[in-house]
Amino acid sequence: MINLSRETIALARRLAAAQGISIEDAIRQAVEQRARESGMTVTSGQGWQRDVSTSAVAARKARMDMIANEIAALPVLDPRSPREIMDDLNAL
């Protein structure tokens, strides 16, 4: 069972009432919409699968490249060489 905050339940009730559907359907539809926006698709009865279309793969690659660029732009906080860091980790 999933425990939801009172605010989340109230929002789900308002959304369900506005659409004339059950709370469960409102939550499911909202989660499915966010999943699709993340590049996932729902197949009937078989669960979640990734969208493997060329455009979806390109969009995921672009998001991963953006994250990698953000990480690469972070400051280096350890002045040691990669070899020194690995040697220290191997010593553990």
Question: Taking CA 89 as the corner, what is the angle to CA 74 and CA 91, rounded to the nearest 5 degrees?
Answer: 160
What global pTM score does this model have? 0.46
9, 3 contact by CB (below 8 A): no
Half-sphere exposure of 14 (CA within 13 A, CB side): 6
Residue with more model confidence, 7 or 53: 7
Is the pLDDT confidence value at 78 over 60?
Answer: yes
Per-domain boundaries in the chain: 6-91
Is the pLDDT confidence value at 13 over 80?
Answer: yes
What length is written for the chain? 92
Q: What pLDDT score was predicted for residue 70? A: 93
> What pLDDT digit, counting tens, does each position of 17-61 carry?
999 999 999 998 888 888 878 877 766 555 667 777 888 889 989
Confidence category of residue 68, pLDDT binned at 50, 70, 90: very high
